[in-house]
Amino acid sequence: MKDSRPIAAASIAIALLTLLGCSSNLATTEFTHPQFDFGFVERVAVLPLEDLADDRQAGVRATRVLITELLASGAVDVVEPGEVQAVADRVVRGRGVPSTKEVIELGRELGVQAVMVGSVTQSEVLRSGAVSVPVVTLDLHLLETETGAAVWAVTHTERGSGAAAKWLGTGAEPISATTRKCVQNALRSLFG
């Protein structure tokens, strides 16, 4: 009688690889300034993230989630978004990314040591047959407000539950859940 164990093991391995393949994320690209002392940053302002995706709510959604996650990290204090918007309207005047001079001015007006800026480059639900996979890509930059230089940057792509969730009968997760995961994973390199 032939031993069927290698075949079974191979089948399980293929199934696991398929599952992993369906949920894998692109590698995160990140930059951390080697000389900057992050302990100096106590208070951060988050400027509204630019929305470069087709989803009109993507920028606002990611900005809100980013603020909550920064606060939840316990590492920094975050300025109330309404106050940031009021000051940014005056200083940046509706342009997406502030100049070096404007970053310094934002720091002085808001009393922050760093400003978080960035964009949502992708926020969509990809469909393949009956399977829906939400995908979110974020690009974040932390600018210190003494010189306006970038001290940290990250680009991260997150794929939400897709095939596995479908097979288990739970359905695809909402795009906001994928956005939250994307923000959490993007911030991981900042807070560990």
Partner 1 sequence: MRAAALASLALIAAVAGSGATAWAQLPSGRGVLLPLQDRVGEAKLAALTETLLRQELEARADLVESVNVRAVLRSMRVRDASYESLDRLAVLAERLEVEWFFLATLHEARAGRKPQRQDGGSTDSQRIEDSGDTPQVVLSARVLRSDSPELWWSGFDGASGRDRERVFGLGDVETLGELMQDTVKGLVARAAEPREARKRTRLRPREGGYLRSGFGPSPPERVAVIPLDSVASRDPSASAEVATAALLTTLGDFGFNVLLPGLVQSIRQESGQIQYGGASRAEWEALAREGGARWIATGTVETYGRGQGRTPDPRVAFSLRFLDTSDGRIDWSNGLARTGKDTASVFGRGRIYSTGALTYAMMQSLIGELRVESRLAKTPRGN
Q: What is the dihedral of CA 56, 60, 63, 64, to 10 degrees?
A: -130
**Burial code of 35-57, b = ≥16 C-beta within 10 A, e = fewer?**
ebebeebeebbbbbbbbebebee
C-alpha distances (whole Å) from 113 to each of 24, 54, 88, 174, 176 are 35, 33, 16, 34, 29
Q: Within 36-95, which residues bind partner 1 (CB under 8 A)? A: 55, 57, 60-61, 64-65, 67-69, 71-74, 77-86
CB of 192 to partner 1, least distance (A): 14
CB of 83 to partner 1, least distance (A): 5
CB of 143 to partner 1, least distance (A): 21
End-to-end CA distance of the chain, in Å? 53
Q: How far apart are CA 28 and CA 55, in angstroms?
A: 22
CB of 145 to partner 1, least distance (A): 18
Q: x/- string (CB under 8 A) for partner 1, residues 2-31? A: ------------------------------
- Does 127 bind partner 1 (CB under 8 A)? Our answer is no
For partner 1, the closer CB: 153 or 165 = 165
Q: Within 160-189, which residues bind partner 1 (CB under 8 A)? A: 171, 174-177, 179-180
Tell me, by CB under 8 A, how many residues bind partner 1. 30
Token pair, residue 46, equals 């988050």
Binding region for partner 1 (CB under 8 A): 55, 57, 60-61, 64-65, 67-69, 71-74, 77-86, 171, 174-177, 179-180
